[in-house]
Amino acid sequence: MPIRRIDPHCLLANEDWVENIAAFTCPACGCVFIVSEDLHREGRNCPGCFKARGHVKGRRDHRGTAEVRWGDTLVPDPASELTAEERAAAERDQLLIEVCRLWNGPDARPLTELIPESVPLTNLETAAFYGESEQLKQVLDAGADPNEPSALFGTALHAAADQGRLEAVRLLLERDADPARLNAQGQSPADVAAENGHEEVAELLRSAASPP
């Protein structure tokens, strides 16, 4: 029975391997499919043809193995036609591969173009989340509203509070970000900081919300 093992040091164009998740190109039908050691302990059949089966054991950087075996006798074909779920799974895998390629490539397209239902982070929110103070200043200087609502966190202050970014929180407060604004869960930025164990940030936000 033919086996292809992914060489962790030399990936082919249509395969990938990150930790204990690998993407194989089915040698039988050409479909790309993803196998996760956690989700597919017994391996996973190619959702396109059921004539190949991928296995991942262990991690790429810890002498793990990722291999695909194929051949007509390998897997009893449960049905000649794919079910709607199997077809959808194959398409999702293909989309994920495409997203990874495009995301990492030089001509990366915006995520919203690739996945229309995704929730994009605003530049303000992203800079606040990562505590990138220079970028945060630039975005604010360019006229961003510091209280602009964001779908994911609530406001930029919530994003900075979530990650305990003290400097970003200070900067946002200086630029009139409102520390009393609540997110969709009814939490203030101070609540979010406290919930994530960033007590210093929570304290700063509390005193900004209720000045003496």
Environment class of residue 134 by beta-carbon count within 10 Å: exposed (0-12), middle (13-18) or buried (19+)? exposed
CB nearer Zn ion, residue 28 or residue 204: 28
Phi, psi of 102 (to 5 degrees): -70, -35
- Look at residue 94 and give its three-state secondary structure: helix
User: How many positions of this chain bind Zn ion (CB under 5 A)?
Assistant: 7
d(CA 75, CA 87): 18
| Contact stretch for Zn ion (CB under 5 A) within 27-35, 60-68, 151-159, 165-173 | 27-35
Q: Which of 22, 23, 26, 160 binds Zn ion (CB under 5 A)?
A: 26
Q: Which helix (H) or strand (E) holds 33?
A: strand 32-36
CB nearer Zn ion, residue 1 or residue 142: 1
| 188-191, Cβ contacts within 8 angstroms, sequence gap of 24 or more | 189/154, 189/155, 189/157, 189/158, 189/160, 189/161, 190/161
Q: Which of 6, 22, 46, 171 binds Zn ion (CB under 5 A)?
A: 46
Q: Which of 4, 8, 19, 29 binds Zn ion (CB under 5 A)?
A: 29
Place of tokens 């006798």: 73
Q: Which of 6, 22, 48, 75 binds Zn ion (CB under 5 A)?
A: 48
| 154 is an interface residue for Zn ion by CB under 5 A | no
- Interface residue list for Zn ion (CB under 5 A): 26, 28-29, 31, 46, 48-49
